[in-house]
Every structure is written in structure tokens, then in C-alpha cells.
Amino acid sequence: MITLTSDFGSPYPAAMKGVIRRHTDAELIDVAHDLPRGDPRAAAFWLRFVLPEFPPAVHCAVVDPGVGTDRDALVVRAGEHVIVAPDNGLAMPPARALATDESDFEVWTLAVDDPASETFHGRDVFAPAAARVRTALDEAASAEAGAADSAGDGSLDADAIAAALSGLDDLAPASDPVDIHFPEPSVERDDGDAIAIDGEVLAIDRFGNVITNVPGDLVRDRDWLRVNGDLTPVAETFGAVDPGERLVTVGSHGYAECDVNDGRGDGAFDLRPGDAVRFVPDSVSL
């Protein structure tokens, strides 16, 4: 299986699929092709959310404001998954989520031939690389199954994946890949109780829901919170407030969200990715 993720819209991802099909019949599953344009941080957030749901796979993820510049392509093994992506950090948060521990992790640089400006890197670099990785893993799995004189289950463990990737002659260990780290919120406490939480907006989804880095447990049992000063109800479901009304809720990713029932939270709260957001329980005097 190869999953595909990009900010290319349509029909560019189909060109990537065509190229992959020239090399392998592996199943293709789209993660998304409408991610925020040129925003590796948003891509990293969503991939960290989605990829761990998959069984071991090759993931080709291209969100790349650096097209045409001198950045490398990476191949990252994390657990029994492999991510093929530009070296701009987007692969690292999902890779950490896929790894079972910190040592369960390897990063290679993929040689990219002299990029001309009309190169479509998704089609000309990353799709063939993902196909090559997929083929190498499938061949290794076949060889392993043959050696064991058994049908095998077609899966490789992490060591076997690493060995197969090491055999690809255009991969070299990466010395210093770009990384993205999502900030932790800071919590001000008084006698153990959180009296203020300073977080940050990680992403906005297509409905305008504002996803913060504040763990749901810090807001879940409140009735009201001040969000950057404005009193806002906390609820488990959108329907707990009237249409058009604001609320704080906990999304399926486990983080506090600033939302509007039947509306857009980003507009109502005036929040964008990277913005600071301060939650203060209302029982605290301001």
C-alpha cells in the first residue's frame, strides 16, 4: 500500500498515480490533496493524526514551499512504516507517532537529480521514489517468504525494512534533517489547579474549527472558559449551543478546539495557525 498526501489539488495527484502504476500495482489510498498550500506544519499535524490509523505502509507526502530550491528528499522509516517526503520537517511528527520508541527511527536522504524549473517534483521525484521503496519492500517480503519456505504474510519487521532500504543505492543516511516540533502549552497552576493555559493554534480544519495544542483533559470538565478574554461555553457537542454560537469542545484528535455551531471558529475567534490562545477558567477572577 502507498498512501498519497499533498496540497496539489486536482488533477496533479493523478499524474503521480500514473507514474506509480508504471512501477508497481500496490494499492493507492489518498489521505488528502487539499491540505493548506505550502504549509508543511499543517501537513505534519494532519499526517500525525491520520497515518497511525494505517497498517504498515509507504506514505508519500508532498507539501513543499521549497520546490525549485535546493532541498533534499527524505525517506524515513518509523516502526514498520516508511514516509517519502521533502526535507522540510513535515515527515517528522508523523514518524514519531508511527515509531514505537525513539530508536525505532531512521532517516535517509534521497538523491534528487538536478531539478529543472518545469519539474513537477510530486510526479518526477516523490512518486517514483515511493514506487521504488514499495517495490524494494515487496521484493524483500517475497524473498523472506521464499527463504522461510512459507507463504508468509507479506509483512516485514522494522529490521528487514531498514535492510531493504539500505540496499537502494540512491539513499544515504541523513545527517541533519529539518524537523518540526509542535509546542507544548504552558499551564499556570495555583495549588494544583490550572488557572491559565497558554496554548497555540496548530491547525484550522476545512470547517473553520480552530485546533489548539491544549490537551482536552485540561478543558473538558469546565462549564465556561475565557478564550483570549471572551467567556465561552465548554460543551461535548456542537448542538449544546445555538447555531451561530461559539463553544470550546474537544476534537477527535484529543485537543481543545474553538468552534462555532454551524459556523466558522476561525472567523468568530479571530484565530490563525500559530496564534496564541489563552484559556482561563471563569471561576478565576480576571
d(CA 101, CA 51): 16
Q: Does 232 bind a second copy (CB under 8 A)?
A: no
Query: Which of the residues 187 through 216 are near a second copy (CB under 8 A)?
Result: 205-207, 216
Min CB(124)–a second copy separation in Å: 8
Q: How far is CA 234 from the centre of its chain?
A: 27
d(CA 181, CA 173): 21
Min CB(35)–a second copy separation in Å: 7
Of the candidate residues 185, 200, 233, 252, the single one contacting a second copy (CB under 8 A): 252
Supply φ then ψ for residue 210, to 5 degrees: -95, 110
Q: Does 51 bind a second copy (CB under 8 A)?
A: yes
Let me know the angle formed at the C-alpha of 89 by 93 and 123, rounded to the nearest 5 degrees. 110
Q: Does 28 bind a second copy (CB under 8 A)?
A: yes
Min CB(256)–a second copy separation in Å: 10
- The answer to whether 76 touches 110, Cβ cutoff 8 Å, is no
Query: Which of the residues 94 through 123 are near a second copy (CB under 8 A)?
Result: 117-120, 123
DSSP string, 194-205: EEEEEEEEEEE-
Let me know the angle formed at the C-alpha of 257 by 252 and 258, rounded to the nearest 5 degrees. 150
Q: Does 10 bind a second copy (CB under 8 A)?
A: yes
Q: Does 272 bind a second copy (CB under 8 A)?
A: no
Residues at the contact surface with a second copy, assessed by CB under 8 A: 1, 3, 5, 9-12, 14-19, 21-22, 28-35, 37-38, 46, 49-55, 65-69, 117-120, 123-124, 205-207, 216, 220, 236-239, 249-254, 262
